[in-house]
Structure 1
Amino acid sequence: MQTNRFLTAFWALAKPYWVSEQRAKGVTLLVTVIGLSLGLVWIEVQINLWNNEFYNAIQARRLDDFYRLLGKFTLLAFAYIGLAVYRLYLRQMLQIEWRSWLNERYLADWLRERAYYRMQLLDHGTDNPDQRIADDLRFFVDYTLSLGLGLLSAVVTLASFIGILWMLSGALELAGVSIPGYMVWCAILYAGAGSLLTHWIGKPLIGLQFNQQRYEADYRFSLVRLRENAEGVALYRGENEELGNFRKRFANVIANWWGIMRKQKHLNFFTVSYSQLAIVFPYVVAAPRYFSGAIQLGGLMQIASAFGQVQDSLSWFIGIYPSFAEWKATVDRLTGFAASLEKARGEAQRMDGERNEVPGERLKIEKLDLKLPQGRPLLSSVTIELKPGEHVLVTGPSGAGKSTLFRALAGIWPYWKGRIKLPKGARLLFLPQKPYLPIGSLRHAVCYPEDANRFAGEEIRESLKAVGLQSLASDLERSENWAQVLSGGEQQRLAFARALLNRPDWLFLDEATASLPEEDQAALYRLLRERLPNTTLVSIGHRESLAQYHQKRLAWHGDSLLTV
C-alpha cells in the first residue's frame, strides 16, 4: 500500500510534462536516448560474442584471427564511445527541457493566488520552498531520468543476455536432478538475495536524505538572512548570537551527515563484498565444465561475461540504492510542497468573506469580522464606507490590527468574514512601512510592479527628484540590491515615487513615512495631494501631525473601528 501511494505521488509529479503541449521535444529526445541505450546494449552483446572468438583464437594461437578480432573490437569500441557520449548529451538536453517546464509550472503555482504568502500563514510544515523549486526539481529530473534509463538498460540487457547464459551454462546434475540453465538460476538467487539485503540495510537512508536536504537549506537560509540584515546585526553587535545560530544549524547538517555516513558504511560493506564475490563467482561455477573439456577458454570467458551482464542487470537496484534513497526523499519533499500549494489555493477559495468589485465609486466594508490565525478577534461586525476624495487616517494602538485590515482590503489575509466591496475598475496601491525593492536596475525598482518600459526615463527621474532622491536620478540603469543600498527613509521616499508613477485611484499607506522626519512627511503628503488630486489616501499612522492631511479619522476601540 505504501509503495502504491509513493508510485501514485511520483506519477502525479512526472506526468504533467509528458501530457503537456510542450512535450514534443522532450518525447523526441527521450525516444532518441532510449534508442541509443538499446544500441549500447546491442554492442555489449556483440562484445560478448567477440569474447568467445577472441579467447579461442588466443588458445589456438591463430595470429590472423587475433588481429582481425582486434580490428572488430576497435570498430565496436568507437561505436560504443559515440553512442555513449551522445546518449549523455541528449539526456542532459532532456533534463534542461523537463526541468525548465517544471520550474515554470511550480513558480506559477507558488505565485498564483499569492500561495507563497498563504503558505507562511497556513502551513508551517513546508520548509524552504525556494530550495524545493531550485534544488529538489533538479534532483527529481536528474534522478528520474538516470534511474529510469538505467532500469530500462538493465531490463534490456537482462533480456539480451539471459538466453545466451542459459545456452552456455548447460545443465547441472544435483542429487540426480538435472537443472538446465543453472547459472541463470544462480544469478537470480544471488541478485535477489542481494537486493533484499540492500533494501533492509539501506532503507534508513531515505529519511536521512530527506532531513539532510532540509538541514542544508535551513543553514543556507540563515546565511542569506545575515547578508540581508547585515546593518541591523552590526548595530546590535549580534555577531556572537549569529555565530551561535550558524553553529547550531551547521551542527544539524553534520550530525545528520554522520548518520548518512554510518548507514552508507554498513551498506558499502555489503555491496562491495557482493560486487567482489560476483567477479569470481561465474568462474568458480563454470570451472568444472572448462576443466572437463566441455568448453574452451573462449566459452569460459563468454560465460563469465554473460553471467556478469545478467548479474549486473539483476543487481541494478543494489548499485543505485544510495541514489534511490535520495530520489525517494526528493519525491517526498516535492509531494509535500505540491500538497501545501494545493492547500493554500483551497483555503483561498474557501474564504468566508466576500471581496469583489461593484459598480459605484465608494469602497464599502460590511459586517467585517477580522481575526488572527490563532483565532483572537481584531474587529467584530464593523461597517465602514469610504468616499472617493475623502482622505482617511486610521489610528490605534500597536498590534490592534491596523495592518491586518489593510491586508484584508488587499485580498491577501484569509482570516476574516463579511463583505468588502471595491469600486469597479479602481486601481489600488499599498505602500507598507518597509517597501519591497526587487534586485536589479533602479528603473525597475521605482516602477515595480509595473513594466518599466511603460514610463519614460525623464518621467522616472522627475519622480525621484520630486520625493527628494535627486542624487539617484542619474542612476536608473544601475543594478543593485537596493534594499541594502538605501536607508529606510530613502526606501520610503522611493515608494512615494512609485506611487507618483502608478497614479492609483486609492492609495493605502501603512506608516509609509515612519522612517522620515515630520517635515519630510509633510512635504511628501503635500506632494501626493498636488500630483495625485484624484487619488484617495487611506493612511495608518501614530503621529498626530498626519491628521491635517486627512478629512476623516477612524480610531480603534477594542474590536470596533469608530469615526472620531
Structure 2
Amino acid sequence: MLSFWSLMRAYWFSDKWKEAWSLTLVVAFLTALSSKAGVWFAEASGELINSIAYFHSSTNEAPLGTLLGHAAFLVALVIFKDAGITGTKSFVSATLHRRWRGWLNGRFNDALLDANHTHFHAQHGADTAPDNIDQRVQESIKGMTGGAIGLAMGVMAVASSVFFVGQKLLETSTEVRGFEFLGEYGSVVFALVAVAAYVPVNTWIAVKLGGMLERLSIRMQKAEGSYRGELSTLLRRSFHVASARGEAVQRTMHERLYTEIDRTWSRLIWVNAGYGSFERIYNFVGARVVAYAPGLLPFVHNRIDLKGYITGAELVNSLISQCSWFIHVMPAIATLRANSRRVIDLARAIENVQKPVEFYRRTGDSDFRYTTQNPVFGLSVQNLRLNHQGHGSEPFLVCDRLGFRRGEWTFLKGESGCGKTSLIKALNGLWPYGGGTIAFPQGVTTFYAAQEVKLPPVTLKELVCLPQGPENHHDAAVAAALHKAGLGEFIEHLADEAKAGKSWDQLLSGGQKQKLVVARILLHKPGLLFLDEATGALDPESKIAFHQAIKDNCPGVTVISVMHEAVPPRSASGEEFYHSVLTIADGVATKEPLAPSLPAEITEILTQPSALAEGWLRIPRRLRAVTRNEGQARLPG
C-alpha cells in the first residue's frame, strides 16, 4: 500500500475479496439503474411539459386526466429513483465504506503493533517521522475510504449515463437545416459539440482550484492534529500543569497552535467560497443555456415539437451534469488525495522500519547485534557504545565488557543525564544509535518496568496479565499476585474496567500503579528484569516490600535496576538485595561487587576511636568478626 492505486485496490484483492466485490457489484448495478431512471425522468418531464403546453388544444380529449397522469407518473418515478434506488445504494455503499475502513484500520493496527515495535521505531530516529499517527489511522483512513467510494460511484454513474443518455439522444436525433450533410445525426452532433466545448475548459479550471484545496487540506490536517495532540498531552499531565501554575504558558502554546489552524482555515474558506461560486455559475449556464441551445435550431425549423425539444434539452442537461462530475466532486477529490497521501506516508514509514538497524543507519551510526547464549552465562554485553543521531557523532556512553550472571541483582547508578535509562533501552533493543553485542540468556523471558505507568482502558485482570492475555492466567493466580503486591483490596474487581466511575488509570495513584507492576512481575516470573526507576513513587517501606516480593517469588531472576537512591535498599533484616553496582561516570560504565555495608551504629564507632572501647562491647558477637576485618582498614593510625 505504498502508492495511491495499490492502496485503493488492496481490499479488493485481500482475503475479504468476496465481501468487497459482492458489495461493489450491487453498488454498480444500482448506479446503472439510477442512470437509466434518469433517462426515464427526462422522458417523463417532456411528457408533462407537453401535456401542459397542449392543455387547451382541441385535440386533447381529456386534458386534466392526461396532465394528472403524467404528473403522478413523474412523482412515482422520483420516489422510485430517489427513495428506492438511491436510498438502497446509499445503504450498500455505506456498508462497503464501513467494511473497507475496518479492514484497512485493522491492517495498520497490526502493522504498527507488531513484535518489531514498529509504532516505536516509526516515531524515532529519523527526521521524516510521520506526524499525528492517530489522525492518520482514524480520520484520514475514514475520509479516504468514504471519498474513494463516492468518487468510484460517480465514475460508474458517468459511464452508465453517457451510455443510456447517448443512446436516447441518437434515437431522437434529427436533421438540422444548414447542416444537412450530417443527416439525421445533426442534432446529436450539435449536442456533443456543445458538451465538448463547455465541459473540458471548466474542468481545467476546477483542477487548478482543486490543487489549492488539496494543499490547504493537508496543512489543515497537520495543524489540527498538532493542536489535538497538545490538548491530549495536557489532559495526561494536568496535575503537573496545575501544581506548577503553568496555565498561562500552556494557554499561550494553545493560542499559537490554533493560530495556524485559523490562518489555514481562512485561506480554505476563501478558496471554497470561490469554488462554490464558480460551480453555481457553471451549473446555471450548463442547465439553462448550453443544454437548450443544441435543439433550438431544429425546434425553430419545425424539425421537432415542443415535447421533443424539452426531452432533448433534459437529456443534454443530464449529459452535461454527468460529464461535469469531476467539477462537482473536485473538492472531494482534493480531500481524497490529501487523506490518501497521509495514509501512504504512514504506510511507507511502517515499511521503512521493518529492519530497524538499516532504518537507523540512514540517519546515524547503528550497529547493534542481539544474540542468545546458554542461560548459565546470563546476560552479556561487549563493546557497547551509545550515540546520538548523526553520522560520526561521539559516543556518550561506552562499555567494553559486562556480564550479569543468573540470579544476580545489579544496582545501576550515576548522575542525572549520564545515560542510565539509555543503557536500559539499549539492552532491550530500544535505543537507535550506537553499537555493540548483547547476548541474552536463551529461553529466558524479560520484563521492562518503567517509572511512568500508563494503564489502558481494560479490566483489572487484563492490566495484571499484560503483556499476555487474560486467558493465559487463572483468576486465582491473578488475585494472589495482587495480594502479594499489596493491592488485595481490588481483588473483587478483576472483571471491571473501572471503579466508582473512574478508569484504573485515573483511580490508582502513582504508587499503586507501581505496585500493579509488581503484581505483573510476580504473575509472569520473568528470568530477566529491568527496573527503570520503577519504585520512584513508593515510600521507603513500600520500596523494601517491592524488592522483597520479587526476591521471595521470583527465584533465580536477574535484576538490573535504576534508582535515585545513592545506595540500594536492604531488606527489613538488613540483608542486601543487590550483589553488584554498575556505575556510569564520565561516559564509561564499570561494574563491581557491592561492598558489604555495616549498620549505622558500627560505622559511628569505627569513625570515632575514642568510643571504640565502649562501643566494642555494644557490638553483637555475631558481627565482631566482620567488624574486626573492616576496622583494620578504617581505624586511624
TM-score (norm: length of structure 1): 0.93
Deviations 1:297-333 (A, max 9, x none): 1111111111111111121111111111111111111
Larger helix share, 1 or 2: 1
8 Å CA contact 2:174, 2:303 repeated in 1: no
Deviations 1:318-377 (A, max 9, x none): 111111111111111111111111122233456622213233332111222222224441
Whole-angstrom distance in 2 between the partners of 1:240 and 1:174: 79
Mapped contact 2:125–2:432 kept (Cα < 8 A): no
Residue 21 (1) aligns with residue 15 (2) = yes
Structure 2 residue identity aligned to 1:155: A
| Aligned-partner Cα distance in 1 for 2:418–2:278 | 63
Residue 8 to residue 530, structure 1, CA distance change in 2 (3 Å): closer
Question: CA offsets, 1:180-204, max 9 Å, x none?
Answer: 3112111111111111112223421
Contact preservation (8 Å) 1:45, 1:160: yes
Matched, 1:35 2:29: yes
Q: Please tell me whether the aligned partners of residues 413 and 420 of structure 2 are also in contact (alpha carbons under 8 angstroms).
A: yes
Which of 260, 264, 267 is the equivalent residue of 1:256?
Answer: 264
Specify whether residues 312 and 470 from structure 1 end up closer, same or farther in structure 2 by C-alpha distance, changes over 3 A only: same
Q: How does 1:442-457 map to 2 (within 5 A)?
A: 442-457=460-475
Separation in structure 2 between the aligned mates of residue 524 and residue 314 of structure 1, nearest angstrom: 72
Q: Of 109, 119, 123, which aligns to 2:122?
A: 119
Shift of 1:172: 5.4
From 92, 98, 101, the equivalent of 2:100 is: 98
Of 133, 138, 150 in structure 1, the residue corresponding to residue 137 of structure 2 is: 133
CA deviation digits over 1:480-533, x for unaligned, max 9?
Answer: 443333222222122112111111111111111122222321222122111212
Distance in 2 between the 1:96 and 1:515 partners? 44
Distance in 2, matches of 1:478 and 1:409, equals 33
Q: Deviations over 1:5-48 (max 9, x none)?
A: xx982112122211111111111010111011111111112222
**Cα contact 1:357–1:423 (8 A) shared by 2:** yes
Which has the higher mean CA deviation after the structures are superposed, 519-528 or 98-107?
519-528
Counterpart amino acid of residue 510 in structure 1: D
The residue that corresponds to 2:580 in the other structure is 552
Contact 1:555 1:561 in 2 (8 A): yes
Higher relative contact order, chain-length normalized (CA < 8 Å, sep 6+): 1
| Alpha-carbon separation, structure 1, partners of 2:356 and 2:553 | 40
1:4 corresponds in structure 2 to none
Structure 2 counterparts to residues 142-541 of structure 1, below 5 A = 142-165=146-169, 168=172, 170=174, 180=186, 181-281=189-289, 282-348=291-357, 352-361=367-376, 362-374=378-390, 375-380=393-398, 382-476=400-494, 477-479=496-498, 480-541=502-563
> CA 1:396/1:172 → structure 2, altered by over 3 Å: closer, same or farther?
farther
CA deviations on 1:527-561 (whole Å, 9 max, x unpaired) are: 21112122221111231331632111111133322
2:625 equivalent in structure 1: none
Give the residue type in structure 2 aligned to 1:347: P
Deviates more, 1:412-421 or 1:27-36: 412-421
Deviations 1:197-228 (A, max 9, x none): 12223421110011111112222222211211
Matched residue SS, 1:158: helix
Give the match's secondary structure for 1:414.
coil
Distance in structure 2 (CA, Å) of the matches to 1:380 and 1:301: 87
Task: Report the CA distance between 1:402 and its aligned residue.
Answer: 1.6
- CA change 1:337–1:174 in 2 (3 A) is farther
**TM-score after normalising by structure 2:** 0.83
Task: String of CA shifts for 1:91-124, please: whole Å, max 9, x gaps.
Answer: 1111111111101101111122111111221345
Q: Is the 8 A contact 2:371 2:438 kept in 1?
A: yes
Higher deviation after alignment, 410-419 or 227-236: 410-419
Q: Distance in 2 between matches of 1:521 and 1:337?
A: 42
Mapped partners of 2:288, 2:77: distance in 1 = 26
Indicate the RMSD between aligned Cα atoms, in angstroms: 2.4
Q: Distance in 2 between matches of 1:532 and 1:503?
A: 5
**1:232-283 superposed Cα distances (whole Å, 9 cap, x missing partner):** 1111112222222222222221211111011112222211111111221123
> Quick check: 1:202–1:264 contact (8 Å CA) kept in 2?
no
Please report how far the alpha carbon of residue 176 of structure 1 lies from its aligned counterpart in structure 2 after TM superposition: 10
- Per the TM alignment, residue 83 of structure 1 is displaced from its structure 2 partner at its CA by 1.5
SS at match of 1:549: coil
User: Does the CA contact (< 8 Å) of 1:33 and 1:90 recur in 2?
Assistant: yes
Partner-residue secondary structure (3-state), 1:377? coil
Deviates more, 1:333-342 or 1:193-202: 193-202
Counterparts in 2 of 1:400 and 1:66: CA distance versus 1, 3 Å: same
Question: What is the total number of aligned residue pairs between the two structures?
Answer: 558
Q: Distance in 2 between matches of 1:44 and 1:54?
A: 15
C-alpha distance in structure 2 between counterparts of 1:175 and 1:458, whole Å: 94
Once the two structures are TM-superposed, the CA of residue 173 in structure 1 deviates from its matched residue by 6.3
Mapped contact 2:165–2:318 kept (Cα < 8 A): yes
Instruction: Specify whether residues 15 and 284 from structure 1 end up closer, same or farther in structure 2 by C-alpha distance, changes over 3 A only.
Output: closer
CA distance in 2, matches of 1:319, 1:88: 18
Distance 1:189 1:75 in 2: 35
What's the offset of the Cα at 1:284? 4.2
Using a 3 Å threshold, how does the CA distance of structure 1 residues 38 and 227 change in structure 2: closer, same or farther? same
Alpha-carbon distance in 2 for matches of 1:444, 1:485: 16
Moved more, 21-30 or 413-422: 413-422
Q: Is the 8 A contact 2:131 2:222 kept in 1?
A: yes
Q: Higher Cα Rg: structure 1 or 2? A: 2
Between the aligned partners of 2:40 and 2:266, the Cα distance in structure 1 is 45
Identity of aligned residues (%): 23
**2:387–2:433 Cα contact (<8 Å) kept:** yes
